[in-house]
Amino acid sequence: MKKIYGFLLLALVVINTGCKQDPPVLPASLRNTQLLGKWNLAFMQSEKYIDGDKEPDSSPLIGTANDYFIFEADNRATLSSTIYQKLFQGYYSANTAASTLAFKSGDLLIRYNVAALSITQMELVETINTNEAGSSVTIINYYTYNRLP
């Protein structure tokens, strides 16, 4: 009888240990404390190129209270966007030199180049390459975010 209890206890420990899920751990080189906090989108400007020819500039998008990033110390992040008309919960990684920033939420992966980063302002550049009707299309989005106090 003791052997049965011992076996059941061992099986219970093995099952519970196998089900434990640790949160993702990012190396220190992908954490950037300069980003921590809430950043509101001040404005966004897009440039579009079709087969290398620049299209006329579009009007800048002025950010609303619903356009923001929140970066947390454990690399969790929130992106609220009126462009996507959605709130995304995910994770971010940014090298310590703050030259690149990636945000991932489910199937959404956005990569930015960090053009400038100060205590109060962050400038991001996103480049999207696609094909439309047999033409090569490049869209470059420029974002300016201001940190909330």
Rounded to two decimals, the pTM is 0.75
Give the distance from CA 37 to its chain's centroid.
14
Token readout for 7 is 């076996």
Of the ranges 51-55, 56-60, 89-93, 120-124, which one carries the lowest mean pLDDT score?
Answer: 56-60
Distance CA 61, CA 44 (A): 5
Is residue 148 very low, low, confident or very high in pLDDT (cuts 50, 70, 90)? confident
Instruction: Give 89-114 pLDDT, tens digit per residue.
Output: 999 988 766 688 899 999 989 999 99
From the list 140, 42, 147, 35, the residue with the least C-alpha distance to 92 is 35
